[in-house]
Amino acid sequence: MIKGVNSAPTKASLSLKETSPKKASAKDALNLEKPQTEVPELSPNTNSHITVLLEEAVQALAIKADGVYVDGTFGRGGHSRKILEQLGTNGRLIAFDRDLKAIESSKEITDPRFSMVHSHFAGMQAELSEMGVSKVDGILLDLGISSPQIDDASRGFSFRYDAPLDMRMDQSSGQTAAEFLAETTEQHLGEVIKNYGEERFAKQIARAIITERNDGRAITTTGQLAKVVAGAVTRFEPGQNPATRTFQALRIFVNQELEELSLTMPQCLALLAPQGRLAVISFHSLEDRIVKQFIRDQANRDDLPANFPVRAADLPQPKLQGVGKTIKPSAKEVKANPRSRSAVLRVAERTNVA
């Protein structure tokens, strides 16, 4: 993902979704998120992190025994380990992650076919070029935030705990959410919360946060932020903490998640060898929209004006083609891991068109 968070959010294609939330009492609004129910691990090697769509995502890559594959989001290695199981002696897997704890976790894998790179996946093409890799047979991106990141209070991703308001995926660099709130303007903050959180009370929340700051009460912890947001949101979706969308917006903005994804998709296209597969797991509509639109644009290259005189053989040919329908977690997986319920897997294959 791109470092530096001082640019204004991109408004294009980010629409505010209207909902019909019900009224919540003041007591409900101030309640912090309840912890998720403990669920069993799917693998003893996942460090308590349940990998979403594990079988489906790896199967979608159509692994070749001697192929070269990229796991753009190592996390705790669930997908990487599954890919390694299917690779032959001459196969190769290169994983990326910018989270220092993910890098530490990757050290458990001593397989010579495996390489780990500390980088955001928007740096994928440059990093692979330095390693002498110009084409790969498959790329997997598991977007969003992982359970270990949410459950680690020190990371500041969750309003379940009162902890420092950090939210950086890579804690070794970049601006924290608290630092952003300390210097942003009310208008800019409102745009961030609206565009990245799809929050209908974005203006009210931004005003409350800036008022709190201007009154000498800088917001530096997750508990402070959740309380201020709860006081500004009068209506919200049943069962959802009023701070949910604001926390999502700040996390996406601080880590430039959508911008990174937009930069990465063309790189995936350039890196994939013919018949190479791209598999992307998204967890909310903003990122899924980027993936869906990119695949659609590359699959439908006929952007000439209607009735334009051109032979069919001369029409632009697709560089990607979608593979099957979107895949979602089964009812069994959702029951075992409620956090998987919003996951969507899209798969595309590289054509022979240069």
Give me the DSSP letters along 84-117: HHH--TT-EEEEEE--HHHHHHHTT---TTEEEE
Question: For the chain, how many residues are written?
Answer: 354
Mean pLDDT confidence for 228-249: 90
User: Residue 280 pairs with which residues in a beta bridge?
Assistant: 141, 346
The answer to whether the beta carbons of residues 122 and 263 sit under 8 Å apart is yes
pLDDT tens-place string over residues 118-172: 999 999 999 999 999 999 999 999 998 888 898 899 999 999 989 999 999 999 9
Least confident of 52-56, 73-77, 277-281, 337-341: 337-341
Instruction: Classify strands 92-97 and 136-142 as parallel, antiparallel or unpaired.
Output: unpaired
Mean pLDDT confidence for 59-77: 97
Angle, nearest 10°, between helix axes 186-197 and 244-254?
A: 100
What are the structure tokens assigned to 344, written together?
């969507």
Residue 287 backbone dihedrals phi, psi, to 5 degrees:
-75, -35
Predicted pLDDT of residue 16: 31
Q: How confident is the model at residue 48 (pLDDT cuts 50, 70, 90)?
A: low
The answer to whether the beta carbons of residues 38 and 262 sit under 8 Å apart is no
- Say which residue the tokens 């996406």 belong to: 252
3-state SS, residue 167? coil
What are the structure tokens assigned to 241, written together?
């903490």
What are the structure tokens assigned to 269, written together?
């296209």
Predicted pLDDT of residue 144: 85
Predicted pLDDT of residue 239: 76
Predicted pLDDT of residue 335: 94
Determine if the pTM surpasses 0.75: yes
Predicted pLDDT of residue 237: 75
Mean pLDDT confidence for 230-248: 89
In the 8-state DSSP scheme, what is residue 145?
A: -
Q: What is the mean pLDDT of the chain?
A: 86
Look at 30 and 261; give whichever has higher pLDDT: 261
Mean pLDDT confidence for 178-202: 97
The answer to whether the beta carbons of residues 269 and 350 sit under 8 Å apart is yes
Least confident of 35-39, 111-115, 223-227: 35-39
CA–CA separation, 186 and 338 (whole Å): 35
Predicted pLDDT of residue 3: 32
- Cα–Cα distances in angstroms (integers) from residue 329 to residues 51, 79, 88, 192, in the given order: 11, 15, 28, 30
From 270, 202, 149, 236, select the one nearest 14 (Cα to Cα): 202
What is the distance, to the nearest Å, from the Cα of residue 262 to the centroid of all Cα atoms in its chain?
A: 11
pLDDT tens-place string over residues 8-19: 343 333 333 333
Mean pLDDT confidence for 60-88: 97
Predicted pLDDT of residue 236: 75
Q: Is the pLDDT of residue 241 over 60?
A: yes
CA–CA separation, 159 and 163 (whole Å): 8
CA–CA separation, 255 and 330 (whole Å): 30
Least confident of 236-245, 252-261, 336-345: 236-245
Predicted pLDDT of residue 44: 35
Mean pLDDT confidence for 62-90: 97
pLDDT tens-place string over residues 114-130: 999 999 999 999 999 99
Question: In a 10 Å sphere around its CB, with 0-12 CB exposed, 13-18 middle and 19+ buried, how is residue 248 labelled?
Answer: buried
Predicted pLDDT of residue 189: 98
